[in-house]
Structure 1
């Protein structure tokens, strides 16, 4: 109901109800005048239709009867059937072909025949049907075959079946009938003939007795069972009085009226069947139904026209307001790029113009604030990045001095080369503060070359990084402070070979880079102290002018620098997490976002 409180909704209802009220008054007057012209009696038409249908069926069944008689009266065919025998000799094959050719000639004499099948007393079957043409095959007894064998030469009308009784390839309803075949000279039974015809011919004849789409026409056998009906979904059998219509003479038609239907019946002499037509009383009022359909069509067209016209009028007035409201909602969500473009009433154009100018001014102000904030963050990043290199540089230069003193020129060459690569990588800060993870790991390997040289190979490093993550951009030199802390505070103090492992894993839609060592680990108090320092950075807001004080201690400054850089670059939810146990080792987990194209 909320939408009908709007300008558009109220205009729509007022205009629509006004037109519909006038339409209903005119339609009611017209309908009352039309009902005075309804015909009250249609029994004559129904009687004529049912009688014609019964006569049509007599003609159809007599035609089918003549087909079977033409087979039985074909002396040559009877002789061939009597002479046929099983076997693959040339004579037998030629005899079988002559029999199927004769059957095929009768098959093609009518368009409605689906299949002709002759079953000899020796059990051989000669068929000609629409599925495979002429065939000679074996036969297994069924109920219909027993009925034909028990007959004494009269026509047996088997009825309608959902599929062919003999042809496996014909999966549609058929009308089946047949009789025994006799050799006329000796009056000796040769076999039986089964003929299947298309059931559409029967359905087409039944529709002749229908007086409307709701009518139902049924053929009943002499025992009262239903053979076929035009409306399979109907319940006409519940409307027919029990025992009605009883025996009917040739051409006799019976009519009975019930409360809501009229029932007519006529006998089919050839098959001792009864055609029953059930027509609802509503179907008999043809002129009224035509008037109702016409009036209903006119009302529907006028209602649609009134609805379209009311919609057009209300929309033309309310559409500018709707677009303005939609753009205001976008501004509430933070989208200041959109503009409203309408050409409507003068007052509304002034309102839209003022709104567009306000949005543009807000967008310009937000852009200035973003630029100022970004400049401040870049300055913070550069300050943090500059803290990474000096300590490492001093240690390396001190080591080079002692190596020169010991004249270890080969080892010195590797160290100087690695240091050169580190300085080259570190000199690119002005070009970009990020690099692919692949370059960051290469830089880390150069660093580890120097570390392993300095420690005499006591630290073994293992990389387990999936190939698909190597192209992801990460902050420059964010791993080196972590590895430096792991070596200095975790692995150097132990008197055994140390193990350092760098690996990656995906968890909850984020990428985790894990640096684990098997060094001395941390005491629980030291770990809590370090976690508190990282938590201080997590709670810092984006607009804070002062940075949190970095607490000194084991792995403090390097990890806090990395954590602060990750938060400035990627926002909350990313950074550094630490796990450690005393005398077992320390694990530092760096969490960064996965780009959408790699997710």
Structure 2
């Protein structure tokens, strides 16, 4: 879905509408010009067709005229028609056969002749037609016969009739014509000849003037009577319109446009007839409709091509901006390593290059800040770590003093060995204040050796740490301050033996190391004060860095130390939790994360 408020959408619309506007203008001009050319072409074609049709029709009528003239110039036929032999004699039968043979020869000379009939002045009819062949019969006078009788030897074009005038077996349209037959020597009429041809030949000649399937071609006589038309009348548009100027002279051609049709007409040389072509405007528009259809197809293709081109151009312009925006979003999320690589317009290339340089500079600045922060944290860890040893060292040296005073040399050796291990462990900072939990527990056991020696066995210690956590990295010497607080403030004031238990448990994906004792515990106000101090880690950090301890006391300092180191190493979600009841004991819970590969 295109967002038309974006650069891509706006460019797409601008380019597409520009292309479509230009396309519509060109299409409109082309259509107007094509319409004019088609109209001129149709006019020329119509005049040419009507002229060719008239010429073809003249040739056809001349051929029919030559057939009748060949009969009139046949001396043997004229002699046989003058012979008045008895019709009952043998000579009369032979005479009739010879006349019909001559007619049959003429009949078979052309394919379009339906029948040839000669009517003598005595009323005898000699015929040769498609239905029965040669026949001789008497004649009953009809209207067409009267027209031929009144003629003076010229060709009489009777017209088209729905069936044969002389043959009862031919029930199809025929074109009839005839003339009087004269004996050339005496210039005396011996009868008439009537020839009937297939009307389809005339209709086929007329169809040459058609310009379309709806065209109607009519032959009109001088008196306005229609001789033949190619199609039946179906509407007023097929009729010859009122106001038609009438018959045209031979060779004259007329073209006129009416409201709903175009009229073309031409006169026929061989007859006083006019060929009239009536073409509806809808047929004239067939080629125009084909042009419109072609133009519409071209327009659709061009619109599709314009849409693709507009999409390509708009995307080629907006794609660099999209990549730039995507990289900006990555920068918002903290990813400064990406680079936008485009090869586009010069201005866009300059913009992208400036953005890449800006991101690189930001990445370098962040790396410098990160390194400075790490150095600061390491310095803080070392400063905090250095606060652990002096207090313990003071107590240990005090204990050694009293033991030397009592001259207990064996126990003194163990204490000094444990103390040396503690100092050795505390002096190793190559791993940036980290150590495996296993080494932290070993260090704690050395410390507890000293404590148990100093307290004369009044503290019993239990370890319940699972082996799977022994290689987990933890802050160095994070358990000793907690155990020291538990012994000094919880177990040492007891008038009975005390228990110190160090255990582990997994909860919500984190590891909890629990240091609990059954010592004197603490009052609720003291517990609240220590808990509040641990939560205010920022304030505690400033106090520790400045050396100001306020009224918290040594117990708060030791726990704050460990709590702050854990947060500096693992984050704000980890640290120390404390619970205590007066005369029941204290429980300190250290929460650290479990690495994913150990989870």
| Larger of the two Rg values belongs to structure | 2
TM-score (norm 1): 0.49
